[in-house]
A and B are shown apart, each in its own frame.
Chain A
Amino acid sequence: MADADGQVIVGLEVHCQLDTKSKLFCGCSTDYRSDGANTHVCPICLGLPGAMPALNKKAIQYAMRVAKALNCEILDESEFSRKNYFYPDLDKAYQITQYDKPLAEGGYLEIESDEGGEKRVRITRVHVEEDPGRLVHMGNVERGKYSLVDYNRAGIPLIEIVSEPDMRSPKEARKFLNKLRATLEYLSVFDSEKEGSLRVDANISITGSERVEVKNITSYKGVEKALTFEVTRQKNLIRRGQKIERETRHFLEARGVTQAGRSKETENDYRYFPEPDLRPLRVKSWVEDIVLPELPDARRERFIKEYACSLNHARTLTGELKLANFFEQVVAADRQGLSSLASTWIADTLIGELNYRDMGIDRIDAAGFTGLVRILKEGTITDKSGIEILRVMLDQRQKGEPIETAAGIVKRLNLAKTSGDAGAITTAIEEAINENPKALEDYRNGKAGALNFLVGQVMKKTRGKADPGELNRLLLEALKAREA
C-alpha cells in the first residue's frame, strides 16, 4: 500500500576512479584531464580489432584494499565478464566488468544515522570495471545534431561499490557517500578532487511503492539534492493517488531535478558472459598481506582520546584526509596547548571561510594557521579579530599576494585587545549611546536585542578590539548611570 508518510528507502551504487598510473587494461597514462581529446589512447582502449586487454595488478590491489576496509569477503575465484550494449562512447560495444563473480561481497560501512548514533550500511559487493569514453553532444536543429567522442577516459579503472538499501533519508545517503569518499582517500586509492572521478546511481523508494533509479549523479551535494527532490516528487504522487512507476531517471544537476529517462534503457539485455580474453583471479590469499592505514573511524577515536576533541569536531576533522592531516600538522609542536583551540577554529570557522571562497584546505599553510592559533591562545586578540586575520590571510592567498603572518597582521591593523584601556572603551560607549537614542529607549523599555545592538555599535567603534567581558560590564554601568 503506497503511503505518503512511509519509510524512505535508499540504496547507492558508487563508481570511483582508482588512482593508478596506467589504465585498467593497457599502459595508457591515466593523467588525461589537462590534455587534448584522444591523446591518451592505444589500440587496446580504442577497441581496435584484434587488440586484447591485459589486467593492471595495481587496480586489483587497490580494490582489495577497499574491500578489506569495508569488511568484505574476497571471493575464492572472481572473473571479468562482458556487458554488451551499443553506444558511441563504448568502443568495443561491450564493457569489461564483473558480473556473477565479483572481487568481493558482503561488507559494511558505519555512518552517523539520522537518529544520532552509528548505524551500519551493508555493502552488497565490490567489483572492478572499465570506464567508457566521454560523449559531448553537439549541433542544433539547423546544422543537425551529432556527438563528439573522446576516448581518453575509456579504460580508466573503476571500482563499483554497491550498498544494500539500508539508508533511510537523503541525508544518510550523503553521509554514506562522504564516509565512503573519506575511506577511499585514506586508503590512497582515490583522488576526490579529480573532476568526474566519482559517479553515483541511487535507488529510492517509499515503503509500499515501486523503486526508482536515479542515474548520473556526479557530485556529493548532488546526491542529497537529487534524493530530496525524488522524495518530494514521489510523496506528492502518492498523495495524489498516483502510482509510482518503476523507472530510471536522470539527475539534472543545474536544475536540481530528476527527469524520466528513455524507457528503452530499462529493458537492456546485456547478454553477460565471461570475458574469454582474460583469465580468472584467485587472489583471496592476498588479503593477508594488505596492511590497512588508520581509517576515518579509528582516527576519529584517536582525535577524541589524544587531542580531547569533541565527537562532533573529531567527526568533522577526520571527514577528509587532508583536513585531518592539516589539524595534526597545526598542533604538532604543542598538542596539549593548541588542540582545543585548533579543533574549534578549524571545524567551526576555517572550513566555512574556505568553502565561501571555494578554496581547498591545501591552499592554506599549516604554519601560518598555527601562528594565528597561538595568538588566540595568548588571549591578546578577540575572536572577532581572529576571524578578521584569517580572512586577510585567505584573501591574500586567493589573490596570489604575499601572505602575512598572523602576528604581522595584528601589528599592521592594530588589532591587539584594548582591554585595560577603559578610557577608549568608555568613550566609545558614550558615543554609541548618544548616537542611538532609540536604542537607549528600547533598552529602558526592556526590548530584547537593544543591548546587543549597542554592544555591536561599540564593537564597531573599537574595531572589535575591546574585550567583550569588559565591554559588557562598562556598557551596563553606563546604561545604569543613565537611568538615574
Chain B
Amino acid sequence: MAGQITFEPDDRYNAFLATCKTATHGSGKLAGVAVAVKDNISTQGIETTCASKILKGYIPPYDAHAVGLLRASGAAIVGKTNMDEFGMGTTTENSAFGPTLNPCDTGRVPGGSSGGSAAAVAAGMARMALGTDTGGSIRCPAAFCGIVGLKPSYGRVSRYGLIAYSNSLEQIGPMAKTVKDVSDLMGVIAGYDRHDSTSRDKPYAHTPSADVKGLRIGIPQEYFGAGVDAGVASVVKSAIGKLEELGATTVPCSIPSMEYALAAYYVTCTCEASSNLARFDGVRYGPAADTKKSWHDAYQEVRRDGFGPEVRRRIMLGTFALSSGYYGKYYAKAQIARENVRNDFNRIFADVDVIAGPTMPTIAFKLKEKSDPLSMYLADILTVPANLAGIPAISVPCGKSEGMPVGLQIMGRTFEDERVIDVAYAYEQAVN
C-alpha cells in the first residue's frame, strides 16, 4: 500500500546526516518499511555528501540503481546515514560532520565506515539500512553494534550510483536486526544492472533455511591467532559450537595469504581511491573553486580544504603507489596477492562449505582510541580477505564480551550468499 511515513527521530547518536521528515513510499514487498541509506549512495534530489565537506550541497540528479530498486519495492527512504569520509575508516570518526556514537555504549564507536547505518538500525530508528563494504565497512559496524550485516558476492548488487572509493573491492549490502530482514532487503537490491559492467546476472530470491545438518565449517587458524582478543575469540568459539550442536562439522584450515592480505587491500584501495577522488574540483559540483585563481592553485585549495586528513593521506599513498616506477612493486603485486587469496579460498572451499570466525579482532573501540592510522588499518585484518576474493560474508551477533556485542562472521563461496545467510539464520534461530 502506497503512502507516507513521518520520520522525526531523536538522533542522539548522530546516525543521520540528512532525514526525510515525510518519506513517501509505494507499494511492494517492502511497502512502508523505513530504510536508511548510507550517504555515499546517490539519491536523486537528496543531498549526498559521503560525509565530506567537498560534497556539501551536492544533490545527485539520479538514483543509484539499488536505490531505484528500493523505491520500486515500496520502501520509505527515511534519510542518509553518517559514515567515515568516502568510506575511509573503521570507526565513523573520520566523518566531516562528527562521529556517530554506538547505541550500545555512547563512549564507544559504532564501527565503520557504515557506522551511521548500523547505529540507525541498532537504535531502532530504521528497520533496515543500506551500507557499503570495501574492507569490512558493513560487517564491522554490524559486529560492533550488535546487528546483522551482509557483504554480498562482488557483482551481485549493482554499484551504479555508489560513489566510488575502491571499485574492485566494494559492494552495497543490507543491514538489519534480523537475518530475515537482511535477506529480504538483499532480495530487493540484488540482480543484473546493464549500467554496471561488473554486475552479474545473479538475482537473489531466497527464504532463509535453518538447516545446517552435514554442513562443513572451516575454522582458519589465522582468525584465532595472537591478534584476536581472547574474550572475542571465546564468544565466537561458543557460537561455532552452537552450529556444531545443530549438525555442522568444523574442520581446521589455514589461509597463508593472510600474511599480506591487508597490505594488498590497502595498496589496492588507496590506488583506486587516488584516481576516483581526483574529480572533486569544485567546478561541476561541491563547494566552489575560486575561478579567480589559476587552475592548479584553485584545485589544490579545494582538495586541501574539502578533504579530511585520512582521505588526503590515502590519496597520497595511492598516488605514490601508482607513480612511475612503483606500479610493479605495489599495485601489480597487490593483484597477484589477491589472486593468491582467491586461490587459498578455492582450495579451502573444495573441502568445506563455509568459513567461520570473528568479524573483528576486538569489541568496539572507545572514541578517539585508534588515533594512529596504521593500528586502525590492522583492525580490518579479518574482514578484508572476503573483499579481496569477492566472496560473500555476513556478520551476525553472537554474544557479548565486556558488555559489548561480538560478531560471528560466516564466509562462503562466490555467489553462495544464500548459504551464508542460512548459516547465520540457523545460528540466530537457535539462540533466540
The answer to whether A and B come from one shared complex is yes
State the A residues within 8 Å of B (CB): 43, 46-55, 82, 84, 86-88, 91-94, 144, 146-147, 149, 269, 271-273, 276-279
- Determine the distance from Cα of A146 to Cα of B298 in the docked complex, in whole angstroms: 12
Inter-chain contacts of A50 with B (CB < 8 A): 41-42, 60, 64, 160-164
Closest B residue, CB atoms, query A83? B275
B55 at the interface (CB under 8 A from A): yes
B196 at the interface (CB under 8 A from A): yes
- A-B interface, 7 closest residue pairs, ranked by CB to CB distance from nearest: A93-B278, A271-B322, A276-B167, A49-B163, A276-B168, A50-B161, A50-B42
Closest A residue, CB atoms, query B41? A50
- Determine the distance from Cα of A84 to Cα of B42 in the docked complex, in whole angstroms: 24
**Minimum Cβ distance to chain A for residue B303 (Å):** 10
Closest A residue, CB atoms, query B166? A276
Closest A residue, CB atoms, query B158? A52
User: Are A54 and B197 touching (Cβ within 8 A)?
Assistant: yes
**Minimum Cβ distance to chain B for residue A45 (Å):** 12
User: Are A88 and B281 touching (Cβ within 8 A)?
Assistant: yes
| A271 in contact with B319 given A46-B284, A49-B279, A93-B281 (CB within 8 Å) | yes
User: Are A48 and B197 touching (Cβ within 8 A)?
Assistant: no
User: Are A88 and B42 touching (Cβ within 8 A)?
Assistant: no
Closest A residue, CB atoms, query B193? A52
State the B residues within 8 Å of A (CB): 41-42, 48, 50, 55, 58, 60-62, 64, 159-164, 167-168, 194-198, 271-272, 274-275, 278-281, 283-285, 291-292, 295-296, 299, 319, 322-324, 327, 331
> 27 A-B pairs, CB-CB below 8 angstroms?
A43-B62, A47-B284, A48-B42, A48-B61, A49-B42, A49-B280, A50-B41, A50-B160, A52-B159, A52-B160, A54-B194, A84-B278, A88-B295, A91-B279, A91-B284, A93-B279, A144-B291, A144-B292, A147-B295, A269-B323, A271-B275, A271-B319, A273-B271, A273-B327, A273-B331, A276-B168, A276-B198
Inter-chain contacts of B50 with A (CB < 8 A): 49
- Determine the distance from Cα of A88 to Cα of B64 in the docked complex, in whole angstroms: 25
User: Are A86 and B195 touching (Cβ within 8 A)?
Assistant: no
Inter-chain contacts of A87 with B (CB < 8 A): 295
Q: Which of A92, A269, A272, A277 contacts B279 (CB 8 A)?
A: A92
Inter-chain contacts of B272 with A (CB < 8 A): 273, 276
Closest B residue, CB atoms, query A42? B62
| A82 in contact with B163 given A49-B55, A144-B292 (CB within 8 Å) | no
**Minimum Cβ distance to chain B for residue A252 (Å):** 21
User: Are B324 and A269 touching (Cβ within 8 A)?
Assistant: yes
Closest B residue, CB atoms, query A84? B275
Which of A48, A52, A82: most chain B Cβ within 10 A?
A: A52
Q: Which of A48, A149, A269, A277 contacts B62 (CB 8 A)?
A: A48
**Minimum Cβ distance to chain A for residue B85 (Å):** 13
Closest B residue, CB atoms, query A147? B295
**Minimum Cβ distance to chain B for residue A471 (Å):** 70
Which of B41, B168, B196, B322: most chain A Cβ within 10 A?
A: B322
| A54 in contact with B195 given A47-B284, A84-B275, A94-B278 (CB within 8 Å) | yes
Inter-chain contacts of B42 with A (CB < 8 A): 48-50
Q: Which of B160, B295, B322 contacts A273 (CB 8 A)?
A: B322
Q: Which of A49, A146, A147 contacts B164 (CB 8 A)?
A: A49
Q: Which of A43, A51, A92, A279 contacts B198 (CB 8 A)?
A: A279
Inter-chain contacts of B271 with A (CB < 8 A): 273
Q: Which of B196, B319, B327 contacts A52 (CB 8 A)?
A: B196
- Determine the distance from Cα of A196 to Cα of B274 in the docked complex, in whole angstroms: 32
Inter-chain contacts of A49 with B (CB < 8 A): 42, 48, 50, 55, 58, 60, 163-164, 279-280, 285
Closest A residue, CB atoms, query B268? A276
Inter-chain contacts of A272 with B (CB < 8 A): 322, 327
- Determine the distance from Cα of A51 to Cα of B368 in the docked complex, in whole angstroms: 34
**Minimum Cβ distance to chain A for residue B314 (Å):** 15
- Determine the distance from Cα of A92 to Cα of B48 in the docked complex, in whole angstroms: 18
- Determine the distance from Cα of A278 to Cα of B197 in the docked complex, in whole angstroms: 6
**Minimum Cβ distance to chain B for residue A128 (Å):** 15
**Minimum Cβ distance to chain B for residue A81 (Å):** 11
User: Are B323 and A271 touching (Cβ within 8 A)?
Assistant: yes
- Determine the distance from Cα of A278 to Cα of B196 in the docked complex, in whole angstroms: 9
Inter-chain contacts of B296 with A (CB < 8 A): 86
- Determine the distance from Cα of A53 to Cα of B162 in the docked complex, in whole angstroms: 13
- Determine the distance from Cα of A147 to Cα of B167 in the docked complex, in whole angstroms: 31
- Determine the distance from Cα of A276 to Cα of B296 in the docked complex, in whole angstroms: 27
- Determine the distance from Cα of A50 to Cα of B43 in the docked complex, in whole angstroms: 11
Which of A87, A88, A144, A149: most chain B Cβ within 10 A?
A: A88
Inter-chain contacts of A84 with B (CB < 8 A): 274-275, 278, 322
- Determine the distance from Cα of A47 to Cα of B319 in the docked complex, in whole angstroms: 20
Which of A50, A92, A277: most chain B Cβ within 10 A?
A: A50
- Determine the distance from Cα of A51 to Cα of B164 in the docked complex, in whole angstroms: 9
Q: Which of A46, A51, A53 contacts B197 (CB 8 A)?
A: A53
**Minimum Cβ distance to chain B for residue A460 (Å):** 64
- Determine the distance from Cα of A52 to Cα of B158 in the docked complex, in whole angstroms: 10
**Minimum Cβ distance to chain A for residue B66 (Å):** 11
Inter-chain contacts of B319 with A (CB < 8 A): 271
User: Are A277 and B197 touching (Cβ within 8 A)?
Assistant: yes
User: Are B160 and A51 touching (Cβ within 8 A)?
Assistant: yes
Inter-chain contacts of A276 with B (CB < 8 A): 167-168, 198, 272
Inter-chain contacts of B62 with A (CB < 8 A): 43, 48, 51
Inter-chain contacts of B275 with A (CB < 8 A): 82, 84, 93-94, 271, 273
Inter-chain contacts of B163 with A (CB < 8 A): 49-50
- Determine the distance from Cα of A49 to Cα of B271 in the docked complex, in whole angstroms: 17
Apart from A48-B285, A94-B278, A278-B197, what are 11 other A-B pairs with CB-CB below 8 Å?
A48-B61, A50-B162, A50-B163, A52-B195, A52-B197, A84-B274, A86-B295, A271-B274, A271-B327, A273-B331, A276-B167
**Minimum Cβ distance to chain A for residue B51 (Å):** 13
- Determine the distance from Cα of A49 to Cα of B39 in the docked complex, in whole angstroms: 12
Inter-chain contacts of B61 with A (CB < 8 A): 43, 48
User: Are B281 and A48 touching (Cβ within 8 A)?
Assistant: no
- Determine the distance from Cα of A86 to Cα of B280 in the docked complex, in whole angstroms: 10
**Minimum Cβ distance to chain A for residue B335 (Å):** 9
**Minimum Cβ distance to chain A for residue B308 (Å):** 17
User: Are A86 and B278 touching (Cβ within 8 A)?
Assistant: yes
- Determine the distance from Cα of A43 to Cα of B162 in the docked complex, in whole angstroms: 12
Inter-chain contacts of B64 with A (CB < 8 A): 50
User: Are B168 and A48 touching (Cβ within 8 A)?
Assistant: no
Inter-chain contacts of B164 with A (CB < 8 A): 49-50, 277
Inter-chain contacts of B292 with A (CB < 8 A): 144, 146
**Minimum Cβ distance to chain B for residue A338 (Å):** 54
User: Are A47 and B279 touching (Cβ within 8 A)?
Assistant: yes
User: Are A146 and B283 touching (Cβ within 8 A)?
Assistant: no
**Minimum Cβ distance to chain B for residue A72 (Å):** 25
- Determine the distance from Cα of A144 to Cα of B298 in the docked complex, in whole angstroms: 14
- Determine the distance from Cα of A278 to Cα of B194 in the docked complex, in whole angstroms: 12
- Determine the distance from Cα of A84 to Cα of B331 in the docked complex, in whole angstroms: 15
**Minimum Cβ distance to chain B for residue A371 (Å):** 54
User: Are A88 and B160 touching (Cβ within 8 A)?
Assistant: no
